[in-house]
Chains A and B, each alone.
Chain A
Amino acid sequence: MSNEDLDAPSGRSGHLPGERGGHPSSWEVVIGMEVHVQPRTRTKMFCGCAVGQLGDPPNSNVCEICTGMPGVLPVINKAAVEACLKTALALNCEIPRHTKFDRKNYMYPDLPKGYQISQYDLPMSHDGVLELDGRKVRIRRVHLEEDTGKLVHAGDKLHMAKESFVDLNRAGIPLMEIVSEPDLRSADEARDYAVALRTLLRTIGASEAEMEKGQLRAEPNISIRRIGTEELGVKTELKNINSFRALHRAIQFEVARQVEVVESGGTVVQETRGWSEAEQRTFSQRSKEFAEDYRYFPEPDLPPLELDPKWIEALRIALPEMPGVRRSRLISEYGLPAADAGLITADVMLANLFEAAVKAGAQARPAANWVIGEVAPSGKLPSAEVLADVVKMVSGGSITRDQGREVLTESLSSGRAPAEIVAERGFAQDSDEASVKVIVEAVMVANPRAVEDYRAGKKQALGALMADVKKRAPQANPKVANSLLQKLLG
Chain B
Amino acid sequence: MRHVALLARLGLEPGDEEFYAEQLSGILAHIDRLQQVDTDDIPPTAQVVEIVNQLREDEPRPGLSQYEVLANAPVAYDGYFRVPSIQEEA
Contact = CB atoms under 8 A, between A and B. Distances in A.
Interface in B37-87: 46-47, 49, 51-61, 63-66, 69-70, 77-87
Grouping DSSP codes into helix (H, G, I), strand (E, B) and loop, the B interface class, with mixed when no group exceeds half, is loop
Contacts of A162: 85
Contacts of B51: 303
Given A100-B47, A164-B84, 9 more contacts: A43-B61, A62-B64, A67-B69, A75-B55, A164-B83, A284-B90, A285-B88, A305-B52, A305-B53
A334 interface: no
A43 B56 CA distance: 10
A42 B59 contact: yes
A4 B70 CA distance: 40
B79 A42 contact: no
Contacts of B55: 75-78, 81
A71 B74 CA distance: 21
Interface string A17-44: 0000000000000000000000001110
B52 to A, nearest CB: 5
Contacts of B83: 109, 163-166
- The 6 closest A-B CB pairs, nearest first, are A63-B63, A48-B61, A298-B46, A165-B80, A79-B58, A166-B81
B90 A165 contact: no
A107 interface: yes
B1 interface: no
A302 B86 CA distance: 30
22 contacts: A47-B61, A48-B63, A49-B63, A59-B79, A59-B80, A64-B63, A76-B55, A76-B56, A77-B58, A78-B58, A100-B47, A107-B8, A109-B81, A159-B87, A164-B83, A164-B84, A168-B81, A283-B90, A284-B90, A286-B88, A293-B7, A304-B52
B9 interface: yes
A262 interface: no
B58 A287 contact: no
Given A109-B81, A167-B80, A58 B66 contact: yes
B58 A41 contact: yes
Interface stretch (A5-13, A86-94, A150-158, A245-253): A150-158
Contact of A43 (B47, B59, B64): B59
Given A303-B47, A303-B54, A305-B53, A43 B87 contact: no
B87 A161 contact: yes
Contacts of A62: 63-64, 69
Contacts of A290: 88
Contacts of A303: 47, 49, 51-54
Nearest to B9: A107
Contacts of A163: 82-85
A434 B48 CA distance: 91
A161 B53 contact: no
Contacts of A283: 90
A293 B5 CA distance: 12
A60 B77 contact: no
Contacts of B61: 43, 47-49, 63
Interface of A: 41-43, 47-50, 57-64, 66-67, 75-81, 100, 105-109, 151-154, 158-159, 161-168, 283-287, 290, 293, 295, 298, 300, 302-306
Contacts of A154: 85
A66 B65 CA distance: 13
Contacts of B66: 57-60
A290 B60 CA distance: 38
Contacts of A105: 7
A146 to B, nearest CB: 14
Given A43-B59, A49-B60, A78-B55, A109 B86 contact: yes
Nearest to A122: B46
A434 B42 CA distance: 95
A304 B47 contact: yes
Contact of A159 (B53, B69, B84, B90): B90
Contacts of B86: 108-109, 151, 164
A185 to B, nearest CB: 30
A67 B80 contact: no
A67 B85 contact: no
A287 B63 contact: no
Nearest to B48: A300
A97 to B, nearest CB: 11
B79 to A, nearest CB: 4
Contacts of B49: 303
B77 to A, nearest CB: 6
Interface in B1-44: 3, 7-9
B63 A47 contact: yes
Contacts of A151: 86
Contacts of A284: 90
A400 B55 CA distance: 57
Contacts of A60: 65-66, 79
Contacts of B56: 48, 75-78
Given A48-B63, A59-B70, A293-B7, A165 B82 contact: yes
Q: Point out which of B8, B81, B84 has the most chain A C-beta atoms below 10 A from its C-beta.
A: B81
B88 A168 contact: no
Given A79-B58, A167-B80, A295-B7, A306 B53 contact: yes
B63 to A, nearest CB: 3
